[in-house]
Amino acid sequence: MADVAVIGAQWGDEGKGKLVDWLSARAEVVVRFQGGHNAGHTLVIDGAVYKLSLLPSGIVRGGKMSVIGNGVVIDPWALVAEMDRLREQGVKISPANLVIAENACLILPLHGELDKLREEAAGKGRIGTTGRGIGPAYEDKAGRRAIKLIDLAYPETLPQKIERFLTHHNALRRGFGVPDIDKNALMKALNDIALAVLPFAGPVWKLLHEARRAGKRILFEGAQGVLLDVDHGTYPYVTSSNVVAGQAATGSGLGPRAVQYVLGIVKAYTTRVGEGPFPTELEDAVGQKLGERGHEFGTVTGRKRRCGWFDAALVRQSLRIAGVDGIALTKLDVLDTFDELKVCTGYEIEGQSYDYLPAGIDRQTHIKPVYETMEGWGDSTEGARSWADLPASAVKYVRRIEELIECPIALVSTSPERDDVILMRDPFEG
């Protein structure tokens, strides 16, 4: 049985939560390996809705070990609030089923403040971050001044670490004309939250190594999407971490051979939250209809998503960069009532043709999509669980996407419900 990594192949919001939950039935360990609480996964299980940000999707399933890897930046207050909210819904969470990498870096309140200060100062040049401090926390990690989860276990040396940390941050705050951070207040806040989060801290790399040796199936759960990857996305309108499947190894402490199958989650149309290029965006009634039918609002932020036609050129590029073995096509049912559909097959920039999204914001903002038009279908695909349940035009649409992205479709999701899936190939079978 293969260990599987699940990543988004567009700009996030592809429906990873449902698919990870569906796959977790076949896994024994579920690992988050990058991002922060800007991620948003919505799970619908037996009619109950669970909204997750930091916790792996496996946490709502009994008998699974959930792991937050070192590649994740953790807001401990947001984590505790999320655990409390899920416990109120009857989810059991303890160190027996949740382990957090002791070497994971923390997001502190000042990180979110800095995020917002920068966005406000940028004006029209803002990136469109969630304002939750993810980027500034990753900056501190790279700058070797971050406070790590394990640091909370040593209150006698924590003040020196905070001193060094604040030397940097208070200088930034003065530049923005806001007061310095009170060192003692920050120390107290960290000491207070330590009691709630330290029981979950552990050597995740060791736990996962032992799980692999024992033959346990591991599911690696990514956040955001490849087009938001800090290296390979539409920079600078990206997240602050690597989103591609290779990060599953770095962000968990396992080697690159830990992942034998990469499943890319792909929405049957395209959405994006925040600023940045979007070649197939529809700012008309069709885009409005896609948003309404798809309930396109961010799980975490509530922000309305921008909507557009499926971009095969862009997805093909993402799949190659991320080393995807097969895709899960989601939200096919959203397209049910459209008379015709368009699929982007390439681009034009100032008369030159491209079969990929070229790097550089200057070119990306002047890009024009080249479309292929396809017939829509009038019948419902919602809840379909086999090819025989799909209208002929829907099958044709799915097969054409498969051709254009040059990657096999392993699964098709036809509703938010967990079991409404057409399975062509089980990723855990490799």
Residues classed as catalytic: 13, 41
Backbone angles phi, psi at 270, to 5 degrees: -130, 140
**What does the alpha-carbon distance between residue 281 and residue 275 come to, in Å, rounded to a whole number?**
12
CB atoms within 10 A of CB 160: 9
Helix (H, G, I), strand (E, B) or coil at 327: strand
**What does the alpha-carbon distance between residue 233 and residue 248 come to, in Å, rounded to a whole number?**
17
- CA nearest to 43, candidates 412, 427, 413: 413
**What does the alpha-carbon distance between residue 413 and residue 422 come to, in Å, rounded to a whole number?**
6
**What does the alpha-carbon distance between residue 424 and residue 346 come to, in Å, rounded to a whole number?**
28
How large is the angle between the packed helices 109-122 and 134-142, nearest 10 degrees?
Answer: 110
- CA nearest to 71, candidates 245, 199, 236, 233: 245
CA 6 to the chain's CA centroid: 9
**What does the alpha-carbon distance between residue 345 and residue 249 come to, in Å, rounded to a whole number?**
32
Q: Identify the residue whose tokens are 């093909």.
A: 316
Cis peptide before 236 (omega within 30 of 0): yes
CB atoms within 10 A of CB 392: 10
**What does the alpha-carbon distance between residue 140 and residue 168 come to, in Å, rounded to a whole number?**
9
Structure tokens at 116: 């917002």
**What does the alpha-carbon distance between residue 330 and residue 333 come to, in Å, rounded to a whole number?**
8
**What does the alpha-carbon distance between residue 248 and residue 258 come to, in Å, rounded to a whole number?**
8
**What does the alpha-carbon distance between residue 206 and residue 335 come to, in Å, rounded to a whole number?**
45
Backbone angles phi, psi at 306, to 5 degrees: -75, 140
